[in-house]
Amino acid sequence: RERAGPAKLLLLGYLSYIVAGWVGLSFGFAQAKPLSALDTLFTAVSAVSTTGLSTIDTGTSYTFAGQIVVLLLIQFGGIGYMTGSSFLFLSLRDHLSETQEKTAKTAYSLPDSITPALFIRSVILFTFACEAVGAAVLYPILETGGETRPLFSAIFHSVSAFCTAGFSLRSDSFAPYVADVPLNLTLSALSIIGAMGFIVVTDIVRRIAGKARHFAFATKVIARMTALLLVVGTLLIFLAEPSIAGMPAWERLQAAFFQAMSASTTVGFNTIDIGSVSRATIVVLLFLMFVGASPAGTGGGLKTTSFAALIGLVRSTLKGRNSVRFFKREVPPAQLQAATTSLACYCGALAVAVFLLGLSEPAAAFDKLVFEAVSAIGTVGLSMGLTSELSVIGKLVIIALMIVGRLGVLTFGLATAIPDESPDEEADNDLAV
């Protein structure tokens, strides 16, 4: 109970950050045309939670100054989330290496001397470096594409991609760039790196550079699950989506990959029209958005590690085992509890949300409601076009889902990190959820 403090502090911090953003966007200098208080609140929550859903067109509703406010909200929202979830992730890991010497060699091995301040500085440096490279690559592409402010657009979209925010200054996201290989690769690389997060990416880089002999166990799980979801998602959309069936094979593959990547990393950009995809594609996107990205990154969703734990659970039950294993390792009960709790809470929150949206949006089709709710709780930002048509109640429901979706995982993580009567049960945490 003594560690429930940080969760409350975190919630308060997030809420005051949202209020600050709301105030910033409420000034006249931020608005290109008069905006309602609810719409600016929606933008503030969407930006801080790095969701990217928007009731109004960001590019034309806000002035240049307003767009800079949105950019700052995304940037600090993303960095704040990545450092917050990383600390949680590492605290589980430290706990591990103290109690279980056997597995210590495969746990994350940050130098003992590292301080929180130093760690945060590393994350910020890493973030800015990635975003700078991204902006540099995007600038000539967007300039050639005829954007009005190509440099700002390059910076904005690079930050938006790395923070998996999916906010775009373009009202059609990136539809005209569906066949542009450099743009697709840049946005995808930024989103995937942002969604995996600093710790995992540095672990991979250290291994490739020969500085580490093993991947940390969680890195293995995260890398394999990310690859699996991207490959399966791309294949299914490639085969099941009629609107891209007429494209040349390479372009079609690229469009399928970009959309699968967008849903899976929860960045939320699109190069095809989400409002007119087939029902089979909707199911694939819903699944990818629901599972979401990885812990210690900027993405949302249930998390790849929770999904891995659930697969392990199902397999163990069907094999008649009481202990749950994944990649030949036992998944600790506390983390399995967090994964199953997340799953149950997600299902419950979505049921309540879609029920309320059913009442508040009587004209909207069922698939649009479900898609909007899953996109909001997973902080993805893809939409079948419902966002701008939402009623007041509908906007409030989506705002609540974005906040719950962003804070949920951290709160559950903290909750399970609290030792109960039997602290020895938590001995072998290994797979963070």
The strand pair at 329-330 and 325-326 is best described as antiparallel
Under rule CB under 8 A, residue 147 binds a second copy? no
Three-class secondary structure assignment of the chain? CCCCHHHHHHHHHHHHHHHHHHHHHHCHHHECCCCCHHHHHHHHHHHHCCCCCCCCCHHHHECHHHHHHHHHHHHHHHHHHHHHHHHHHHHHHHHHHHHCHHHHCCCCCCCCCCCHHHHHHHHHHHHHHHHHHHHHHHHHHHHHCCCCCHHHHHHHHHHHHHCCCCCCCCCCCCHHHCCCHHHHHHHHHHHHHHHHCHHHHHHHHHHHCCCCCCCCHHHHHHHHHHHHHHHHHHHHHHHHCHHHCCCCHHHHHHHHHHHHHHHHCCCCCCCCCHHHCCHHHHHHHHHHHHHCCCCCCCCCCCCHHHHHHHHHHHHHHHCCCCCCEECCEECCHHHHHHHHHHHHHHHHHHHHHHHHHHHHCCCCCHHHHHHHHHHHHCCCCCCCCCHHHCCHHHHHHHHHHHHHHHHHHHHHHHHHHCCCCCHHHHCCCCCCC
Residue 166 interacts, among a second copy, K ion, none and using kind-specific CB cut-offs from 5 to 8 Å, with K ion
Instruction: Decide whether 51 or 127 has the Cβ nearer to K ion.
Output: 51
Separation between Cα atoms, residue 264 and residue 287, nearest integer Å: 9
User: Apex CA 413: angle with CA 412 and CA 416, to 5°?
Assistant: 85
Instruction: Decide whether 46 or 411 has the Cβ nearer to K ion.
Output: 46
Which residues are near K ion by CB under 5 A? 51-52, 166, 268, 381
Count residues binding a second copy (CB under 8 A).
Answer: 60
Taking the complex as a whole, how short is the minimal distance between the CB of residue 129 and a second copy, in angstroms? 37
Taking the complex as a whole, how short is the minimal distance between the CB of residue 418 and a second copy, in angstroms? 4
Under rule CB under 8 A, residue 404 binds a second copy? no
Taking the complex as a whole, how short is the minimal distance between the CB of residue 232 and K ion, in angstroms? 21
| Contact with a second copy (CB under 8 A) among 200, 286, 296, 410 | 286
Residue 4 interacts, among K ion, a second copy, none and using kind-specific CB cut-offs from 5 to 8 Å, with a second copy
Asked if 259 and 285 count as a contact pair (C-beta separation under 8 A), the reply is yes
Instruction: Decide whether 197 or 408 has the Cβ nearer to a second copy.
Output: 408
Taking the complex as a whole, how short is the minimal distance between the CB of residue 79 and K ion, in angstroms? 15
Instruction: Decide whether 134 or 332 has the Cβ nearer to K ion.
Output: 134
Under rule CB under 8 A, residue 420 binds a second copy? yes
Taking the complex as a whole, how short is the minimal distance between the CB of residue 240 and a second copy, in angstroms? 6
Stretch that binds a second copy, among 86-94, 121-129, 171-179, 364-372 (CB under 8 A): 364-372
| Contact with a second copy (CB under 8 A) among 12, 205, 351, 427 | 351
Question: Smallest Cα–Cα separation from 372: which of 347, 348, 392, 397?
Answer: 397
Residue 52 interacts, among a second copy, K ion, none and using kind-specific CB cut-offs from 5 to 8 Å, with K ion
Stretch that binds a second copy, among 35-43, 70-78, 252-260, 359-367 (CB under 8 A): 359-367
| Contact with a second copy (CB under 8 A) among 341, 391, 396, 400 | 341
Instruction: Decide whether 201 or 370 has the Cβ nearer to a second copy.
Output: 370
| Contact with a second copy (CB under 8 A) among 280, 391, 396, 400 | 280
Under rule CB under 8 A, residue 228 binds a second copy? no
Taking the complex as a whole, how short is the minimal distance between the CB of residue 412 and a second copy, in angstroms? 6
Under rule CB under 8 A, residue 348 binds a second copy? yes
Phi, psi (rounded to 5 degrees) for 31:
-105, 125
| Contact with a second copy (CB under 8 A) among 48, 69, 284, 376 | 284
Residue 344 interacts, among K ion, a second copy, none and using kind-specific CB cut-offs from 5 to 8 Å, with a second copy
Residue 268 interacts, among a second copy, K ion, none and using kind-specific CB cut-offs from 5 to 8 Å, with K ion
Asked if 247 and 271 count as a contact pair (C-beta separation under 8 A), the reply is no
According to CB under 8 A, which residues from 1 to 30 bind a second copy? 1, 4
Instruction: Decide whether 50 or 335 has the Cβ nearer to K ion.
Output: 50
Query: What's the Cα-to-Cα distance from 333 to each of 96, 145, 223, 416, rounded to whole Å?
Result: 14, 52, 23, 10
Residues binding a second copy (CB under 8 A): 1, 4, 236, 240, 278-284, 286-287, 310, 313-314, 316-324, 333-334, 336-338, 340-341, 343-345, 347-348, 351, 354-359, 362, 364-367, 369-370, 412, 415-416, 418, 420-422, 425-426
